[in-house]
Structure 1
Amino acid sequence: MVSHELAFTALLVTLVLILISWYKSDETSNSRKAGTPPLPPGPKGLPLVGSLPFLGPNIHEELTNISHQYGPIFKLYLGSKLHIVVNSAEMAKVITVEQDESFANRAPHIAGLATSYGGNDIAFAPNNANRRNLRKVLVQEVLSNVNLEASHAYRRHEVRKAVKYVYDRVGMDVDINEISFSTVLNVLTNIIWRKGFVDDGTNYANLSEKIQKVICRIVEIAEGLNISDFFPMIARFDLQGVERKMKDQMKQFDKIIETTIKERMNSKSTNVEETVEQKGRKDFLQILLEHTDQKTGTSITMTQLKALVSDIFLGGTDATSAMVEWAMTEIFRDQKVMKRVQDELEEIVGLNNIVEESHIPKLKYLEAVCKETFRLHPPIPFLLPRAPNKPCTVGGYTVPEGATIFVNVWAIQRDPRHWEDPSEFNPDRFLNCNGSTEKWDYSGTNLTFLPFGSGRRRCPGIPLGEKMMMHILASLMHSFDWKLPNGEELDLSERFGIALKKKKPLVAVPTKRLSDPSLYM
C-alpha cells in the first residue's frame, strides 16, 4: 500500500515538474530567438491555468492594478491562452493607429461566434473584404444621415411612450435600466421592421417581447465565464453548455428574422419600392434585402444580413441602456450637476415643451455629462479583443501572432497623466472655454478618450446610439424630478459583463416637473 502511495506521489511530482518545465520553456521561447524582443512582463501564474484562478469578478479593475506593477503593456496567461493587455494611450496608439492593419483581426469568444453566425457580422468577423463590405453597407446605407433622419419619428414615438410610462408611475419606483432597455429595443424593432410583423396573428408588441426575451437570455449566457474560451483543446466538449445554450437562443432569433423576411418577400401587397417615394423612407430590412438581391454594387449574403441584424440588436440595447443608467446615477450623485442639467433643459427646451431631437445639439452640458459618463464607465472596458495576424513589436516587446489583445479603455480613461482627478465625475473637463465640446468626440482620434474604440474596428453604430442616449436622458431629466426611494443609498459598484453595468440596478421615484399634463401624453 505504501509503495503504491510513493509511486503515485513520485508520478505526481514528475508531472508537476514537466508542466513547470513546459511552462517556462513556452514563456521564454520568443526571447531565445536571436534579435527577437522578449514577451512583455507580467504575472507568472500557475502551470496550465495561468492567472485564471486569481481573477475576481471585476476583471477591469484587477488588470488595471496589475498594470501598476508591470507597466503600460503586460502579458498574462488565462488558461492556455496568452493575453496581452495595453493600458496607456501611447500603447493604444500603436495597436489602433500605427499598426492597426496588423491588429485588425478579432479574438472571438465562443458565445460571440454563435451570436454572429460564425463571425459573419461586423463585430467578430476577421478583417477581410467581406467585413469591409458589410461595414460599408451598414454605415453608408443603413446608418446614413438620410436613413437616421427618416427614422426620427420612430425614436420620438418610443421616447414619448417611455415618458408616458414613467408619468403613470409618478410617486412609484421606476427601474431606469428597464425603461431604457425597452425604449431602445422598441426603437430598433421599429426602424428595422418598419412595416410591423405578421406571424399567425402575432402582433407588433408581441414581436418586441419575443426579441427582448431572446436578447436578455443571450446576454445572461454570454456574461458567464466559459472555460472553453481559455482552454481551446477542450472546447469541443462544451462542458458548461454555453455554445449549446447560445445556439438554442440564436435559433429563436433566427426564426423571428426568417419569418419576417419571408413575410416581406412573399407579400402580395404592392411592391415596397413602388410605394416608397424616396430611399430614405425604406426600413433597414428593405435596404439589406436589396443588397442580398444584388440590386446594388455591394452584395451581402442572407447569413450576413441576419448577423448584421443581430449586431444591431445586441450592440444597441444592452450598452445604451447601461449608459443611460450610469449617467442618471452620476447626475443623482451631485445635486449641482443635476441642477445644471435641468437648468439647461429649461433654457433650451422650456417648461412648456417636450424634448425633441432638434434640441439635442444645443444641450452642451448634457453632452458633456454623457461623455464624462463614457469616460468613467466605458460600456466595454477592454473593447472587443483584437488578435495580430503576424508577430509584432509593441513598446519594445514581442506580441505573438494570434495572441488576444485587450485595450484597457477603463484604465486609459482614468490615467492621471492625462486626466486631472481621474476618479472624479466632472463634466466640465469636456467643455471648452466657449462652452462647446468640439475637442472631444467618439471617433477615437484622441486616444485618451476612446469608449467606442479607434481605427478599423471602431464601433460603427455611434450616431444612432448617441441620439438614443441623449434623447432618453434629456426627456427623463426634463419631464421629471427624481429622488431615491426612502432609505435607499446610491450604489456605484460595477458588474463586469458584456456591458459594464451597475451591480445594483438604479431605482428612482419620479415626480411631475412640467405643469401641462398634455406634455406627458
Structure 2
Amino acid sequence: MPSLDPFFLQDLVAAAFLFFITRYFIRSLLRTTSRTLPPGPKGWPIVGALPLLGSMPHVTLAKLAKQYGPVMYLKMGTCNMVVASTPDAARAFLKTLDLNFSNRPPNAGATHLAYNSQDMVFAEYGSRWKLLRKLSNLHMLGGKALENWSQIRAVELGHMIRAMHESSQKGVAVVVPEMLTYAMANMIGQVILSRRVFVTKGSESNEFKDMVVELMTSAGIFNIGDFIPSIAWMDLQGIEGEMKKLHKRWDVLLTKMMEEHAKTAHERRGKPDFLDIIMANRDNSDGEKLSLVNVKALLLNLFTAGTDTSSSVIEWALAEMMKNPKILKKAHEEMDKVVGRSRRLEESDIPKLPYLQAICKETFRKHPSTPLNLPRVSTQACQINGYYIPKNTRLSVNIWAIGRDADVWDNPLDFNPERFLSGKNAKIDPRGNDFELIPFGAGRRICAGTRMGIVLVEYILGTLVHSFDWMVPPGTGELNMEEAFGLALQKAVPLSACLSPRLAPTAYVS
C-alpha cells in the first residue's frame, strides 16, 4: 500500500480543522443572531433587575420601556421575564402567541393563597381550568347568566343607595370603597349562596374588605422567592408567612359559608344557586372531577376579584369626576335627559348613555384595575419582533403603560371621556379585542369576569352619579390621587365624599 504524502496529510488536517472551526463559528454566529434577547436593563448580580422595580413596578417598567423599547427583557433572579408595553407588543403575545403563553408561572400567591393553584385564576391551562371556566360562564359570568341575576344587582344597589341617602341627610361623609365592597360582596353572595353575605354594615364587612385588599396587595408584590426558588424557604420579605396567615382566615370564612349553605339545601329545591350547580356538576365528560378544594378556591376567586377590581375602577371614576366638576355636570345632564329625576337609573338605560360609557372607558384606560396582567409563562421558546424568547420566560403586559402611551392617546395624563365619543377611538371596546384598551387582559386567559366587570362598573357608577351630587368633604383640600400597587390598583387614600341627593325622595326608598 503506497504511503501518504506527509504534506498532503498536513493539508488535509489543516483543511479539516479549518472546516470545523468555520462551521462552529458560522453556527455560533447564526445562533447568536437568531437568539438575540430583547433589550433591557442589566440588573445586579444574582438578583438581576428585582431591586430596580421599587414600590411601584408598573411605573418603573413603563419608564424602562421608554428607554429599551416595547418588548423588554429582564433577568429576574434566576428567571427570565419579558415585558410588553405597547398595543402591538401585547397583541403579539396575547393573540399571535397566545397558546404558548396560556400557563401561569409558579408563585407564592398561587401556592399559599389559591390552594396550590387549585382555583381558576392560577390553574394550569387544561381540562380542569376549562371546566371551572365553563361552569362559571354558564351560571354566573356569561351574558345569559348576568341577565338572570340582574334583579339581584338592582336590589342590592337599592340597599346601598338608601344607606348613602341616609348618610347625606345626616351630613355624614361616606367612605366609598367600604360601601362598594359591602354591596358587591352581597350581590355575589346572593348569586353564589342565595343569601346576603353581610346583613348589616359593620366590623364583619370591614374585615372582609381588609382581607380582600390584603390578598390583592400581597399577591401583587414581586416576591424574591418566586424568582430565586433556591432561597424561597428563607422568606426574606416575610410575604409567604403573611400569605399563610391570610389563607387560614379565608379558609375559615369559605368553609363556614359552604357548611351553612349545605344546611339550607332544602330551601332551594327547584331554585339552585351557583354553588348548588357547581356541586352538582363536579364531574365532566372528559373525566375531570372538581374537589371541594377546587370549589373553595373558585369561590375565593369570585369573592375577591369580583369585588375589588370593579370597586377600585368605580372609586377612581368618582374621584376623577370630583376633580373635574365639568365632567360630572355633563354626566348629570345626559342622565337627566334620558332617565329624569323621578326614578333610579336602570341597566336598560345604559345603552342610551354614551357619555357614561365613555367615562367608564376612560377610567379603564387611565386607572386599569390590574396595572400588570397576571403573569404568564412560555411553554416553548419563540420569536417576537426578531427577538428570541426562551422557554419558561415569564410574560408581563404593562396594561397601565399602554393606557398612558402618548403614541396611542392624545394627552394621556388627562381624564377626557370625550376621546371615546368620536374619531379613531369611538369604536374601541374594553373586552379584549382592541389592544389599546385591555383592562381585563386578552386571549385565552382573559379575566373570566370581563362581562360582569363591565356591567357592574357601568351600572353602579351610573346609579351613583345619577342619584347624588359628589363633593369633597370640607377641610379635605385637594383630592389625593396617589396609587397603591397590588394585583388591583387601589387609591392610596380611600375616597370620602359628601353627597347631595338629586332625585325625588321616592327614588331612594324603592
Q: 1:348-427 maps to which residues of 2 (within 5 A)?
A: 348-427=338-417
2:188 is matched with 188
| Local SS of the residue matching 1:309 | helix
Question: Which residue identity is paired with 2:464?
Answer: L
1:439 is matched with 427
Q: Deviations over 1:60-84 (max 9, x none)?
A: 1211111111111111223333221
2:482 is matched with 493
Contact kept? 1:291, 1:298, Cα under 8 Å:
no
Q: How far, CA to CA, are the matches of 1:209 and 1:339 in structure 2?
A: 32
Decide which structure has the larger Cα Rg and report it: 2
Distance verdict in 2 for CA 1:267–1:194, change over 3 Å: closer
Long gaps (5+) in structure 2: 1-27
Distance verdict in 2 for CA 1:133–1:237, change over 3 Å: same
Distance verdict in 2 for CA 1:288–1:218, change over 3 Å: same
Distance verdict in 2 for CA 1:204–1:293, change over 3 Å: farther
1:93 is matched with 91
Question: Which residue identity is paired with 2:270?
Answer: T
Q: Deviations over 1:388-430 (max 9, x none)?
A: 0011111111111112111111222222222222222221222
Question: Displacement, 1:224?
Answer: 4.8
| Local SS of the residue matching 1:457 | coil
Question: Which residue identity is paired with 1:509?
Answer: C
| Local SS of the residue matching 1:168 | helix
Question: Which residue identity is paired with 1:128?
Answer: G
1:321 is matched with 311
Long gaps (5+) in structure 1: 1-29, 277-281
Question: Displacement, 1:309?
Answer: 1.0
Question: Displacement, 1:108?
Answer: 4.3
Distance verdict in 2 for CA 1:90–1:146, change over 3 Å: closer
Q: How far, CA to CA, are the matches of 1:299 and 1:357 in structure 2?
A: 37
Q: Deviations over 1:241-295 (max 9, x none)?
A: 433332333233233333433444455736x4x433xxxxx32111111112669
Contact kept? 2:173, 2:496, Cα under 8 Å:
yes
Contact kept? 1:215, 1:314, Cα under 8 Å:
yes
Q: How far, CA to CA, are the matches of 1:32 and 1:239 in structure 2?
A: 41
Q: Which of 31, 34, 37 is matched with 1:36 structurally?
A: 34
Q: How far, CA to CA, are the matches of 2:106 and 2:356 in structure 1?
A: 35
Q: Deviations over 1:95-117 (max 9, x none)?
A: 01111111111124312332221
Q: Which of 477, 486, 494 is matched with 2:465 structurally?
A: 477
Contact kept? 2:182, 2:201, Cα under 8 Å:
no
Q: How far, CA to CA, are the matches of 1:295 and 1:94 in structure 2?
A: 34
State the Cα RMSD in Å.
2.7
Question: Which residue identity is paired with 1:392?
Answer: C
Is 1:235 aligned with 2:232? Answer: yes
| Local SS of the residue matching 2:89 | helix
Q: Which of 256, 266, 270 is matched with 1:275 structurally?
A: 270
1:16 is matched with none
Contact kept? 1:185, 1:212, Cα under 8 Å:
no
Q: 1:39-438 maps to which residues of 2 (within 5 A)?
A: 39-170=37-168, 171-195=171-195, 211-212=208-209, 214-224=211-221, 226-265=223-262, 267=264, 269=266, 272=268, 274-276=269-271, 282-292=272-282, 299-432=289-422
Question: Which residue identity is paired with 1:152?
Answer: S
Question: Which residue identity is paired with 2:344?
Answer: I
1:510 is matched with 499
| Local SS of the residue matching 1:255 | helix
Q: Which of 455, 459, 464 is matched with 2:447 structurally?
A: 459
Contact kept? 2:419, 2:425, Cα under 8 Å:
no
Distance verdict in 2 for CA 1:295–1:77, change over 3 Å: closer
Q: How far, CA to CA, are the matches of 2:67 and 2:334 in structure 1?
A: 44
Question: Which residue identity is paired with 2:241?
Answer: R
Overall identity of the aligned pairs, in %? 34
Distance verdict in 2 for CA 1:31–1:407, change over 3 Å: farther
Contact kept? 2:178, 2:206, Cα under 8 Å:
no
Q: How far, CA to CA, are the matches of 2:200 and 2:276 in structure 1?
A: 17
Q: Deviations over 1:335-378 (max 9, x none)?
A: 22111111111112211111222222222111110001101111
Q: How far, CA to CA, are the matches of 2:282 and 2:259 in structure 1?
A: 14
| Local SS of the residue matching 1:131 | helix
Question: Which residue identity is paired with 2:350?
Answer: I
Question: Displacement, 1:167?
Answer: 1.2
Contact kept? 2:38, 2:388, Cα under 8 Å:
yes
TM-score normalised over the length of structure 1: 0.85
Contact kept? 2:382, 2:390, Cα under 8 Å:
yes
Distance verdict in 2 for CA 1:108–1:185, change over 3 Å: farther
Distance verdict in 2 for CA 1:226–1:478, change over 3 Å: same
Q: How far, CA to CA, are the matches of 1:408 and 1:256 in structure 2?
A: 33
1:24 is matched with none
Q: Deviations over 1:107-156 (max 9, x none)?
A: 24312332221112221112222212221121123323343223222211
Contact kept? 1:444, 1:454, Cα under 8 Å:
yes
Question: Which residue identity is paired with 1:505?
Answer: P
Contact kept? 1:105, 1:389, Cα under 8 Å:
yes
Q: How far, CA to CA, are the matches of 1:224 and 1:411 in structure 2?
A: 18
Question: Displacement, 1:208?
Answer: 5.3
Question: Displacement, 1:213?
Answer: 5.1
Question: Which residue identity is paired with 1:462?
Answer: T
Question: Displacement, 1:203?
Answer: 7.2
Question: Which residue identity is paired with 2:328?
Answer: M
Contact kept? 2:138, 2:145, Cα under 8 Å:
no
Question: Which residue identity is paired with 1:486?
Answer: P
Q: How far, CA to CA, are the matches of 2:263 and 2:182 in structure 1?
A: 30
Q: How far, CA to CA, are the matches of 1:71 and 1:203 in structure 2?
A: 51
Question: Displacement, 1:297?
Answer: 9.1
Q: How far, CA to CA, are the matches of 1:411 and 1:383 in structure 2?
A: 11
Of residues 377-386 and 34-43 in structure 1, the stretch that sits farther from structure 2 once superposed is: 34-43
TM-score normalised over the length of structure 2: 0.86
Distance verdict in 2 for CA 1:268–1:473, change over 3 Å: closer
Of residues 496-505 and 216-225 in structure 1, the stretch that sits farther from structure 2 once superposed is: 216-225
